[in-house]
Chains A and B, each alone.
Chain A
């Protein structure tokens, strides 16, 4: 399950960055990948759709959101937590 969450998120981020999933490094930031604020909001939408979860993210002030987007690895960990909380997995 958690491997599949990781793969799906990497695929979503790769689609957004127009890269191959193999080019997405775990320590990369969204800025490194060339994903701007609109791209981020679109990625979060794709994550919500893929896992049927609510992501607590406020685009007005991303740093205030209870959702860590500081790197690809952080996003994966955060989504794994949300899936566990919201889907009881």
Chain B
């Protein structure tokens, strides 16, 4: 068993185009949710989201790259470049042969599906661009990172809806911990803020028209976001030997399946995943200072999650802090666990716990310390990051302050 540490992180999301901006927004409790801006938005009843605004693909990529990269791939590559630059790693020889990329995404190239369905169905075109398939496939982003950074080891993409990133990072963690790889690039990405993407979500009637207010009694649904976050998971001795800055240690992971319902969450399934991650990381409940909640802002998730946390952590559930940063960056679906891990790293590294903003009214069914509206300074040793997906697939990661 090897120890696993994080030596690089990168992101682009509604709160910022890099980690510095994002962490600053999380600290200040700034909301990145705004009016959606894309074609046919006037035909939607849901018109808000955590959209990446003022983004110019041509500033980052050339014409040929843009022809091949869906928006979710572009976000991934930008985040990966930041993370790998921070880690200061160059991949060649044996290191390249054993280092890989495991990413999470729920929808992959949704904008590409949307644009091309529109072309053939709405505009009646009978011909589509030849890169439609390589652009929309779910593994496109992972593959482009591997090509860009010469990563030739185990690489694939995980799709478990809203838990995709946590499942992906859990796999990367296990590869490094088992000794299979010295370094893994991991995280997740999503970009389904387009007419078809949001229209599909509207159908479920779980989306809020005005704000994401997790744990607040007056919450009325989730708000979708987009973006990516990428991390460098590295074997501890490898990182130490080269004098890399260690941001945090990854100490535990567990996944469970509710085997119950395709959309309704289960307290038991969530609780078993939380308890499993603590067992895996040899964590006592009293060590846990902060939980980054799944906290979608739906009636069902938030009360079930609070019950699961109380179930898994017992009395200590009343002492720890739990917040949902989805209130700021929105729900990035398959990319959400990755962006939320930034808040977890901030908690153990900087001693600042991100708030749940938009919190207005206490809900007796969510009676935990949800860090309402303002970030808090605190010494946090261990954090958990929850992700509970549609389909009842749960994945929880545990981080500890850097050794």
Contact = CB atoms under 8 A, between A and B. Distances in A.
Interface of A: 15, 18, 38-39, 41-42, 44-45, 48-49
A73 B323 CA distance: 65
B130 interface: yes
Contacts of B129: 42, 45
Nearest to B67: A42
B67 A45 contact: no
B127 A38 contact: no
Contacts, number: 18
Interface in B125-154: 127, 129-131, 134
Interface string B52-69: 000000000001100110
Interface size class of B (residues with CB under 8 A): under 10
A62 B275 CA distance: 57
A48 B131 contact: no
A49 B127 contact: yes
Contacts of B68: 38
A44 B129 CA distance: 10
Given A18-B64, A41-B130, A45-B129, 13 more contacts: A15-B63, A38-B68, A38-B130, A38-B134, A39-B64, A42-B67, A42-B129, A42-B131, A44-B130, A45-B127, A45-B130, A48-B127, A49-B127
Nearest to B130: A41
A89 B67 CA distance: 32
17 contacts: A18-B64, A38-B68, A38-B130, A38-B131, A38-B134, A39-B64, A41-B130, A42-B67, A42-B129, A42-B130, A42-B131, A44-B130, A45-B127, A45-B129, A45-B130, A48-B127, A49-B127
A74 B67 CA distance: 26
A78 to B, nearest CB: 18
Nearest to B129: A45
